[in-house]
Amino acid sequence: MPDNYSFGIEPVSCHAFNKDRTQVALSLNDSEVQIHKFAAGKWALTDTLAEHGQRVTGIDWAPNSNRIVTCGADRNAYVWTKQSDNKWKPTLVVLRINRAATSVRWSPQENKFAVSSGARMIAICYFEQENDWWISKQIKKPIRSTVTCLDWHPNNVLLACGSTDFKARVYSAYIKDVEEKPSATSWGSKMPFGNLMAEFSSGGGWVHSISFSANGERLAWVGHDSSVCVVDAANGQQLTTVKTDVLPFMSITWVTDNSLVAAGFDCCPMLYTYSSGNINFVSKLDDTAKQQVAGKVSAMARFKAMDSRAATDDSANETTLGTVHQNTITQLSIHSGTKSKCTKFATSGVDGQLVVWDVKSLESAFAGLRIA
Amino acid sequence: MSKATTNVDFRKVDVDQYEEEKYEDDAVVDDGVTGPNDAEVQALIAKGRLADALQTVLSTPPIASKNPAVKDKAAQVVMKVLTAFKAADIDGAIKNLDQNKLDVLMKYIYRGFEMSSEGNGAQLLVWHDKVFAVTGLGSIVRVLTDRRRV
């Protein structure tokens, strides 16, 4: 059974774990970021970071430098560093955007971060030593609508983004002040800042989430037209799309070099595999429905239900969904392991729950399931 | 003074067209697909080859066309095919359709709901039920989100 933790009735807008997963930073649909510490099987609130003027839309926790970056609908981003007195001190980052920020991601080497926004641009921010502040450079062309999601390539330079103009793009976010010139990859060799390396059409819907595979050779994203797309750069940028028969996904991540977990409006994580140009649905990863025992309803209760609610069958007794999450899952993150060998992943959703799923117990719960 | 204020024509101005950063759909090349050939489809229906008629109309939807009349005409032809089917034959015809054609079919079913001519309702609902059983909620989401309207 997956471990689920409830943080109240408000949706979890976004969450981020620290390096050893003993702490989580999350926001419950308001302008504050709460930090919880894991102790004795429960999460306890230890800090509240209140600096944003409006709803917090993205949080990311850099594992090695232990800095938290948050972005919000107030068009600002803050970098939080832990002081010696154990308090978190915010530093404002001037993004120069005139619309809300939608998500934020530290780069793999944690020397810069990217913020996507409704201002049809991505702000790449890095720290300038001489002036002791964060500078932002903007990637604008040719984005034509809100950028919703971001993911960094392991080489610290390439950035994938999905947007509400129905496109997924790969840009170069090379900042010469903080890093060496990158060597060529399957996505191209010329990588000046802001260069559009590749652009793909996702079909017909907003791109909700995008994810590079562990080695950066493959890119997967999900669109609101209930589709999952994968591009294999090693194979001549071959684009594969699968139109699913379920509700759209809001989040996707690679869990092995060939497997993807996606979750969204069906409130249930689902497993897909990608091999030789085909995306195959493997299984839903939530077996709560099977475990729900249809209890024997007494005759009295049955007539009562018929009388008050015109309920003629047993299913009317169920007031909960047959999944762990009771509402849309909005974010998936790798909890333990890496994108190439994930052992646990976490989901958070509109129902205010954070659920940690263990790959080993999923493999044993579903006969014959191998996440490899 | 009162004469100047009675003019309300300004309310009819479409301010969105003057927006500089207005989102324009990708220029979908009008590939000249003007929908199924009416005569050909009529002939197929008359001969009773309804499954073939269905395949024909679903392979040439005028999605790229900017002319609403072309789209309306195509929709009418599709309706003729859908209503010509007997309920028992629908399952067999659907089995032979691939994912793309099923999505196009679902789009036409909802187009049919919009056109709401008196006779069609029940038959369209039967079609909807059967296509939904195969394609699930995904195809309905695509009817709502796909910019390429039928």
More confident residue, B62 or A33: A33
Which residues in chain A are contacts of B26 at CB distance < 8 A? Answer: 201
Mean pLDDT of chain A: 91
More confident residue, B24 or A35: A35
**B137 vs A: CB within 8 A:** yes
Whether the full predicted model's pTM is greater than 0.80, yes or no, is: yes
- pLDDT number for residue B67: 82
Condensed to tens digits (0 to 9), the pLDDT of residues A83-111 reads 999 899 999 999 999 999 999 999 999 99
pLDDT band at A293 (very low <50, low <70, confident <90, very high): low
Q: Do A225 and B141 touch (CB under 8 A)?
A: yes
CA distance B116 to chain A (A): 26
For residue A134, give both structure tokens: 């964060």
- Distance CA(A318)–CA(A314), nearest Å, equals 8
- Distance CA(B74)–CA(B76), nearest Å, equals 5
- pLDDT number for residue A273: 93
pLDDT band at A245 (very low <50, low <70, confident <90, very high): very high
Condensed to tens digits (0 to 9), the pLDDT of residues B23-34 reads 777 656 666 677
The residue in chain A having the minimum alpha-carbon distance to the alpha carbon of residue B132 is A245
Asked if pLDDT for residue A316 goes beyond 60, the answer is: no
- Distance CA(B88)–CA(B140), nearest Å, equals 23
Which residues in chain B are contacts of A245 at CB distance < 8 A? Answer: 135-139
- pLDDT number for residue B114: 87
Give the number of other CB atoms < 10 A from CB of residue B118.
Answer: 5
Condensed to tens digits (0 to 9), the pLDDT of residues A106-149 reads 999 999 999 999 999 999 999 998 888 999 999 998 899 999 99
Q: Do A244 and B138 touch (CB under 8 A)?
A: yes
Using CB atoms, pick whichever of A145, A201, A225 lies closest to residue B145: A225
Which residues in chain B are contacts of A224 at CB distance < 8 A? Answer: 141, 145
- pLDDT number for residue B129: 92
pLDDT band at A297 (very low <50, low <70, confident <90, very high): low
Asked if pLDDT for residue B111 goes beyond 60, the answer is: yes
- Distance CA(A44)–CA(B129), nearest Å, equals 49
Q: Which B-chain residues 77-116 have CB contacts (< 8 A) with chain A?
A: 99, 103
The residue in chain A having the minimum alpha-carbon distance to the alpha carbon of residue B23 is A144
Q: Give the closest residue to A365 by CA, choosing from A262, A287, A284, A289.
A: A287
CA distance B24 to chain A (A): 9
Which residues in chain A are contacts of B103 at CB distance < 8 A? Answer: 243
Q: Do A247 and B145 touch (CB under 8 A)?
A: no
**B28 vs A: CB within 8 A:** no
The residue in chain B having the minimum alpha-carbon distance to the alpha carbon of residue A243 is B138
Q: Which of A225, A278, A279, A280 to mutate to test the interface with B (most CBs of B within 10 A)?
A: A225
DSSP structural state of residue A119? T
Q: Are A11 and A28 in contact (CB under 8 A)?
A: yes
Give A354's contacts (C-beta < 8 A, 6+ positions apart). A4, A5, A7, A12, A15, A24, A26, A43, A346, A347, A348
- Distance CA(A12)–CA(A111), nearest Å, equals 27
The predicted model gives A30-43 an average pLDDT of: 93
Which residues in chain B are contacts of A225 at CB distance < 8 A? Answer: 141-142, 145-146
Q: Read out DSSP for chain B?
A: -HHHHT--GGGG--GGGG-TT----------------HHHHHHHHHHT-HHHHHHHHHH----S---HHHHHHHHHHHHHHHHHS-HHHHHHHHHT--HHHHHHHHHHHHHHHHH--TTTHHHHHHHHHHHHHHH-HHHHHHHHH-SS--
The predicted model gives A60-64 an average pLDDT of: 96
Using CB atoms, pick whichever of B99, B135, B142 lies closest to residue A225: B142
